[in-house]
Copies of this chain bind each other. A is one copy, B any other.
Amino acid sequence: MTTMPKIAPSSAVPSTTPRAVEFRLDNGMTVVVVPDHRAPVVHHMVWYRVGSSDEVPGKTGIAHFLEHLMFKGTEKIGPGQFSKIIARNGGQDNAFTSNDSTAYFQAVAKDRLELVMDMEADRMVNLKLEKSQVETERNVILEERRSRIENDPAAQLDEQMHAALYVNHPYRMPVIGWFHEVAALSREDAFAYYHRYYAPNNAILVVAGDVEPDDVLRLAKATYGKVPANAASLRNPRPVEPPAVAPRRIEMVDERAGQATISRDYPAPCYPRAKPREAEALDLLGKILAGGPTSRLYKALVVDQKLASSIDGGYSGEALDSGRIGLHGVASDGVPLADLEKAMDKVIDGIAVNGVSANELELARNQYLASYIYESDGIGALARRYGWGMVNGQTIADIEDWPNRLRTVTAEDVRVAAVNYLVSKASVTGWLQPPAGLAS
């Protein structure tokens, strides 16, 4: 739904820097407008500054559960009608929940923006939930979890690796929630979370597309502006990790596993908590190490040594408290995971010891800049870019200046990032293989 139909560029002048405009409503709601006039469409998103890592212990999954329940209806919108009304107006809508935030979005023709804003503002405070709807939706989510996690050993391992990567921070918990806890979530749990966290002062509106900032502001005042602020809606700070002490390993043997795989995670600072140029250096490090067929791990393990049939990975820095470098390899037939791991560690250690070359750095940088430009072409991707940045505490200037900061990263910055964060002691390694292929 985030890829819009291709339409010939309109005659409007291309936007110049700064591209986005920010307002603040009287009730504290942040409004970001990203004008893009090439097609008469808009991408409308509301981001709440709350996610699964703000759940209370024992209630995992409530953030995601509420996200589902937000489609149930209000006084004005009948049960299950929200998405149908959007579709009837030629649009598409959806939502997602992450550790740190929850976002609702609609892609519609520009003349339907007011309708969408009215509906989204309405469900910010007027959600209605029948007990039976809650129970039905809970079963939907349990089935989602069963098929996506319980029936997929790789997803189960991934979940366990997260639980091992953080010993204290709630990033260790699955966003979808533990099965037995989701099964016990109630209408009251959903409302408690909703009434605490869903409020305009805890939300960011992002509208990208064929709009003028002042028009969006006027509409925002007329819709979201009427929703009262809730001073209690700000989340509590999350528990902080103690220093890492020793590497952790999870060696999963499962009959449903296909080729043997190895995964490796390292914690690393996220964008809002990194030192200047550090997160950008981590982006480049991840790309050089594991991003595609030109990466070091791919060339060494897939092309040269033929120990792996694929390798990928990279750095994820869009988070509030911590980022992560994740690597994932599939062993070639008959290659013991221990051999693959040893070869992988040699490449990883090499980057910290010898650094990266000017060529590697430029290639990685150019790949990033190219996809940045490519991505800027879609208003859905644009809206998400501003949403992710803002909801994690960045400013519009931070977000728009990213390509410039990326350009200033040196090979030495990347080497230092490798030395600081490709640290065995802080890492988690996961093996997944079928019983027969058990490496000794």
Please, which residues of chain B bring their CB within 8 A of the CB of A172?
Answer: 167
Q: Which of A60, A160, A172, A246 has the most CB of B within 10 A?
A: A246
Question: A237 is contacted by which of B58, B60, B240, B248 (Cβ under 8 Å)?
Answer: B58
Please, which residues of chain B bring their CB within 8 A of the CB of A178?
Answer: 168, 242
Given A167-B172, A170-B57, A178-B168: A157 in contact with B238 (beta carbons within 8 A)? no
Q: Which residue from chain B places its CB closest to the CB of A58 in the assembled complex?
A: B239
Please, which residues of chain B bring their CB within 8 A of the CB of A238?
Answer: 57-58
Please, which residues of chain B bring their CB within 8 A of the CB of A254?
Answer: 246
Please, which residues of chain B bring their CB within 8 A of the CB of A58?
Answer: 236-240
Please, which residues of chain B bring their CB within 8 A of the CB of A220?
Answer: none
Given A58-B237, A172-B167: A252 in contact with B246 (beta carbons within 8 A)? yes
Q: Which residue from chain B places its CB closest to the CB of A237 in the assembled complex?
A: B58
Q: Which of A60, A163, A252 has the most CB of B within 10 A?
A: A163
Cβ–Cβ contact B250 & A250, under 8 A: no
A251 at the binding interface (Cβ < 8 Å): yes
Cβ–Cβ contact B167 & A160, under 8 A: yes
Cβ–Cβ contact B252 & A249, under 8 A: no
CA distance A252 to B245 in the complex (A): 7
Instruction: Please encode chain A, from 226 to 260, with 1 for each CB lying within 8 Å of some chain B CB and 0 for all others.
Output: 00000000001111101001111111111000000
A346 at the binding interface (Cβ < 8 Å): no
Please, which residues of chain B bring their CB within 8 A of the CB of A245?
Answer: 156-157, 159-160, 252
Please, which residues of chain B bring their CB within 8 A of the CB of A157?
Answer: 245-246
A interface vs B, CB < 8 Å? 57-58, 60, 156-157, 159-160, 163-164, 167-168, 170, 172-173, 178-181, 236-240, 242, 245-254
Enumerate the 5 nearest inter-chain pairs by beta-carbon distance, A residue then B residue, closest first: A246-B252, A249-B249, A58-B239, A163-B167, A178-B242
- Beyond contacts A57-B238, A58-B240: 18 other A-B pairs, Cβ-Cβ < 8 A, are A57-B239, A58-B236, A58-B238, A58-B239, A156-B246, A160-B167, A160-B245, A163-B167, A164-B164, A167-B172, A168-B173, A178-B242, A180-B240, A181-B239, A247-B250, A247-B251, A248-B249, A249-B251
